[in-house]
Structure 1
Amino acid sequence: MSTPPTVRLDGGVLVLTEDPALIAAQLRGQGPPAAELIRQPLRDNISTDEIIPGWCCYWYDQRLGDFAYLGLRDRQFEEGAIRALGPQIIVSGSGKGCGSSREHAVYAEKYAGVQLVFARSFERIYQQNCRNVGMVTCEDFGVLAELIDGAELPLSALTRQATGLERAIIDTGGLFGYNHAFRAGKLTQAAATFGPPRPLNCVEKIVQSHLADRHPRDDGATVTVAETYFVKADVRFSHEYVTPMAAGMFEEQFGADAAVVDPSSTYFFQDHLSLAGQVLAARPNGLQLTRRVDDLARRQAEFAAASGGTLVGAVPTGGSQAICHNYMVERVAEPGQVVIGTDSHTCTAGAVGALAFGIGATDVANAWYTGEILVKVPRVVRIELRGALRPGVCAKDLMLTLLADPLVAEGRSLGAVLLFTGAGRHGLNMDERATVCNMAVEAGAMTAIVEPDDVTAAYLAARPAGRAAPRPPVACDPGAAYAEELTVDLGSVEAMVALPGDPRNAVPLSQAPADVRVDKIYGGSCTGGKAYDMDMYASVFDLARANGARVPDGVQAYIQMGSDEVLRYATERGYVDLFTAVGVTVLPPSCGACINAGPGVSLTPDEVTVSAQNRNFPGRSGPGQVYLASPYVVAATAIAGRLSSVEDMLTTGGAA
């Protein structure tokens, strides 16, 4: 169904202000008019966890409309509140839709009646998900004011910042509508512009080398920054949160007998919810939620079998074979590939030099059929790493340092690719590079790439046999252009911690609040569950054991592996026995507590967790407060029973 050519305000406006009282007043049908509310301080960085909590994603139908904004900080909304209010327009501040790639968030708004979304700025995946399902986004508050004043405006007034191809998708009601109309000959391919010959950076080269056949390019012509093109994906993957929704779309749009193109490049992961049953049982609606989780896994397995793709499933002893991001780096991704996955942390595969980024359910369903994904050529921020990290400081500290940098705070990394280069990268092993790339999305970036080098080549050569020979890396041309360039002296990076509420709340550990008592410790997830992370945990726990210290009573500590390969690594080195000896519970591979679906989640708002995961948005790992830190600090905190450095732990922490 096409989008109407004109827009006018026929319904209500919900303005998400910083003041919870003003939000509550709107829910009661009271408070100032919308024209005044949009001049109030607006709520920034509303995450997809806040738009729709993780457990609500066990549904993928109209029920999602009842769950809209259940997770919003300050807990203003009850189930069904947004649907009952039925706003036509919803308004917020900067960074709308940060966090995960879950398209459920967009559908929650859509099914609750929202048609237009205004914000000062949007995160890439959220905005693309909106466009794909026919929701119109706009950053022009002058247009918003006109609509509130009663004006009827052409749709083009809201989409003037979009590219020609993006506008065509919006006009035809979304990605499926556009592609159906194109294949039926009802519209011509929206023209994509090319530029004259010029030096290209590696990101531009990858995009250009993967252009879909629908974009013919003259000899010497080059892709241009901020233009959109369909490109061919080398690898496509989805996990059980998203596969059932996307599978339904695929069958509805392309027919029950439609085939997935190139199934050998398609992967399905049962990693997010493989331990969910261990925590759902204790919840009031636990039986219902468990049944929903089981249904997601069953539906995914059926579609994976029918598609001919690879299912990386749960294991009988509990947990998963691997978290999708760990598996991609360990076994699949190659330099120069385009890797797409239904998870914002798909960017992890940038560690090997791939252009890897997260997408939503509509995108992956479309890509299963066409093999293509729409890409807006991103700005590239070149980050030159110099020197070496000090002992006890690691890649997690580097990324938390960058999250506190003006580059991120001022929004200059939004939608960009972070390209890590410089001699300093040679000192980062592949697991550390994976951490760097994994957390690029926390900076609002599209993805990150570590420029391949001898470390990359050695890692790829040692991967499991049976894979094709790795591709040569894609090098940046001399004289290639970058949106910005930043130099980081690794020797100046300190141990860092992100305070609760947002990964960007990062401060040096030395400046963190004093005497933060903790209830839970979590060392795991795609960010903190790799082999080198296990080395870091073990180095601290070994010191603790030598000093007769262990996890104190009243603290629950968990270490979780990211893959069966990591579990094997940790077992062979005696780490599993070490962790157990100091009072840590060892968990099998799974996303687990990071996605609020496994042991280690908080149960009450006053619980405090220190975690090695990648994000700590409200509700992310339960209702409690989550601090983010490195594996060194996580392990030290487990022994000390409070937020602690390794040095402080040795001085004062631990119970004999």
Structure 2
Amino acid sequence: MAPRRVGGGERTVQKAGRPGHARGEGLTPVSDGGQLPGVCPPLEGQSGGQAGSTGPRVRKRPSEISFGGRVLFLAEDAELIRQQLHEGFDPEFTPDLKARLRDQISTDEITPAYICFFYDETLGEFPYLGLEVAGENGRAEAPIERGTVKAGGFVCSVAGKRRGKGSSREQSPYAELMAGIKVVVSESIERIYNENCQNLGILTTTDFGLIDRIRSGEPIPLSEFTAGTDDITRQIIEYGGLFEFNMARLAGQVTLPPPRADGGNPMTLGEKIFARKWVVDAAEGRIGTDRTEPGEAGFFRTDIRFSHEYVTPMAAIFFEQKLGADARVLDPDSILFFRDHLTFLHKVMSQERIEQGLLAVANELEVKQREFAVKQGIRLYGEQQGHVMGSEAICHSKILEDYAEPGMLIIGTDSHTPHAGAVGALAFGVGTTAIFNSWITKDVRARIPPSFKVVVDGTLPANCTAKDLMLEILRHPYVRDGHAIGQIIEYAGPVVERLSVDERATMTNMAAEVGAFTGLVAADERTVEFLVEERGMDEDRARALVEGVYSDPGAGYVKVIEIDASRLRPMVALPGDPGNGLYIDELAEPVEIEIAYAGSCTAGKKEDMDMYARVFREAWEGEG
């Protein structure tokens, strides 16, 4: 069947049970007045209907806010943490305690990976279970047990530098929120974690002077938590979260900074697509502006929104709780779901985890996604014959194979969403809150990143592929030293122009390894060939889609890297980092291969499979 056209404590774990059902821990139905604690209430009087519809005015938080509750200090001291959790000890915040606060608490410590199989308020039982601090005789200990934070009546959690580093998993702040944490105080807070907190309604600050005021219940001006933020972030905080802000935006209650359309300066491809998709006025449905530039923030209309089973269930819980069980997503034909991350989990999960009930809990992710897909009329690429044949599709690969078109804006809950940049689509990864809100608004919040360009000249030698090009790019100082993080990488030059779309996809896919916002290749004749030959698209339509999907001459880049492909040789990456690339002939000695893995995330395309077949054929014939 052809795809539909789209235009996206104990240190034990709860035994299996369906999240949100029959455990006494399920979500409070919206019809009974339930809502996420710590955030502003949803639109009054709205319990269902089409997502994105307007209604009564959305209320802001009051200009002053009081808490009045306990403060949990996450110190490099296991005994101090236990005293707070089990003995009701509330230490005075002193310079000595500040010096003992634990630095660099990662999201994996807030919610270890095995906890992320839960996706509803049950997560409130688990914050900080992975946190290790100094214990007896200086040995690392994990002093926080299941349920102890929630039972302690804490409203504020305090830590040191770089709180929330690591993965962007939104289960971490959500677990804190469900445990009663309404304020996070740290010396410094990582950007994505901080944004996730703001989106969910958790207040964040680096001002330790607020701690005693929080604990005492003293009214604190909300401006203490919005100081220094941009206009959009300030309003998200004032409305109590991204959902509430978006409801106000759709109702025309908020003021957004307009695009700075101040002339006809040349734009990069990324900037051009952002300009075409800018939601100038959501209430009036005005989309598009003449120009954009790096640093501008706004909301942008998506063409495709997709998610997989690790994210969809939590997003569905948010959607149903905020809008009601009967609410409908906006334009389901442009939403896609995938079961591709945990299909074979039963083959790799340890017996200990299975006995703890985690496999059964993880299987509920598949159930919730499937049920939500059926209810909303969303296309789900699920399993083939249950577990027997694996997944029907890999999300980022399928988007390129059957859906992405030049000039589209695509969001997905997968780090390799930029795969679709191979045909000139602006595709980038987002988290749970962003995908859930996109089901309501069909747009996504973004700050336009700067672009840098990699120009590849010369001729690619035999037995060298786009993967070798990427390993060479990854070890370039600009990339290796982190200067490319958060930027758009645009690939260009004669060698890239000669590459097939599959090989281009290897390069855009690995924007994730670069640390880039996304990767792009201008649409051209190769793109037309792909759309006609692989999709069966009418040639005239394909050529019309390609028109103008390239950077303007004279467009500005923060960096241009030039690579002579003729000098390349087949490469490998040493363990630990794909930036540790070496030419194979530079290895000190031959390396025996015990297992060779071929497939996604990067190398599961048709041309990759053809290459593997050639290798096997040559080996077979050589043996013969």
Among 561, 565, 579, the residue aligned to 1:490: 565
**Residue 263 (1) aligns with residue 332 (2):** yes
Counterpart residue identity of residue 417, structure 2? T
Which residue in the other structure is 1:383 paired with?
Answer: 454
Which residue in the other structure is 2:405 paired with?
Answer: 334
**Residue 532 (1) aligns with residue 607 (2):** yes
Which residue in the other structure is 1:607 paired with?
Answer: none
**Residue 56 (1) aligns with residue 115 (2):** yes
Q: Contact 1:335/1:452 (CA < 8 Å) preserved in 2?
A: yes
Q: CA deviation at 1:330?
A: 0.4
Residues 86-138 of structure 1: CA distance to partner in whole angstroms, max 9, x if unpaired?
771344449x6555x542243245445473375868465x5543331124567
- C-alpha separation in 2, matches of 1:284 and 1:394: 40
SS class of match (1:277) = helix
Normalized against structure 1, the TM-score is what?
0.70
Which residue in the other structure is 1:171 paired with?
Answer: 238
Kindly report which structure 2 residues correspond to 1:313-462, keeping only aligned pairs within 5 A, or say none: 313-316=382-385, 317-462=388-533
Kindly report which structure 2 residues correspond to 1:492-531, keeping only aligned pairs within 5 A, or say none: 492-493=567-568, 495-504=570-579, 506=581, 520-531=595-606
- C-alpha separation in 2, matches of 1:160 and 1:421: 41
Counterpart residue identity of residue 379, structure 1? P
Counterpart residue identity of residue 453, structure 1? D
- C-alpha separation in 1, matches of 2:497 and 2:358: 46
Counterpart residue identity of residue 60, structure 1? Y
Residues 404-444 of structure 1: CA distance to partner in whole angstroms, max 9, x if unpaired?
33323443222211111122202332222222112212322
In our comparison, the structure showing a higher alpha carbon Rg is 2
Q: How many residues align?
A: 531
SS class of match (1:344) = coil
Among 255, 261, 267, the residue aligned to 1:189: 255
Which residue in the other structure is 2:157 paired with?
Answer: 88
**Residue 205 (1) aligns with residue 276 (2):** no
- C-alpha separation in 2, matches of 1:520 and 1:355: 35
- C-alpha separation in 1, matches of 2:160 and 2:254: 34
Q: CA deviation at 1:540?
A: 3.8
Which residue in the other structure is 2:23 paired with?
Answer: none
- C-alpha separation in 2, matches of 1:111 and 1:224: 39
- C-alpha separation in 2, matches of 1:267 and 1:369: 15
Q: Contact 1:395/1:435 (CA < 8 Å) preserved in 2?
A: yes
Counterpart residue identity of residue 36, structure 1? A
The Cα RMSD (Å) is 4.0
Kindly report which structure 2 residues correspond to 1:289-308, keeping only aligned pairs within 5 A, or say none: 289-308=358-377
- C-alpha separation in 2, matches of 1:387 and 1:180: 52
Counterpart residue identity of residue 58, structure 1? F
Residues 456-504 of structure 1: CA distance to partner in whole angstroms, max 9, x if unpaired?
2211111233799442252222222222222222334454444555545
Inter-CA distance 276–157: structure 2 relative to 1 (3 Å threshold): same
Residues 502-550 of structure 1: CA distance to partner in whole angstroms, max 9, x if unpaired?
545555556678687776543222212222222343444444444549x
SS class of match (1:373) = strand
Inter-CA distance 25–397: structure 2 relative to 1 (3 Å threshold): farther
Q: CA deviation at 1:286?
A: 5.3
SS class of match (2:546) = coil
Q: Contact 2:524/2:546 (CA < 8 Å) preserved in 1?
A: no
**Residue 276 (1) aligns with residue 345 (2):** yes
**Residue 248 (1) aligns with residue 317 (2):** yes
Identity of aligned residues (%): 37
Which residue in the other structure is 1:288 paired with?
Answer: 357
Inter-CA distance 76–333: structure 2 relative to 1 (3 Å threshold): farther
Structure 1 residue runs of 5 or longer lacking an equivalent are 16-21, 550-656
- C-alpha separation in 1, matches of 2:160 and 2:575: 24
Q: Contact 2:104/2:165 (CA < 8 Å) preserved in 1?
A: no
**Residue 477 (1) aligns with residue 540 (2):** no
Q: CA deviation at 1:366?
A: 1.5
- C-alpha separation in 1, matches of 2:464 and 2:132: 32
Q: CA deviation at 1:449?
A: 0.8
Inter-CA distance 424–144: structure 2 relative to 1 (3 Å threshold): farther
SS class of match (2:326) = coil
Which residue in the other structure is 1:643 paired with?
Answer: none
Inter-CA distance 463–291: structure 2 relative to 1 (3 Å threshold): same
Normalized against structure 2, the TM-score is what?
0.73
SS class of match (1:526) = coil
Inter-CA distance 199–322: structure 2 relative to 1 (3 Å threshold): same
- C-alpha separation in 2, matches of 1:521 and 1:26: 48
Q: Contact 1:228/1:377 (CA < 8 Å) preserved in 2?
A: yes
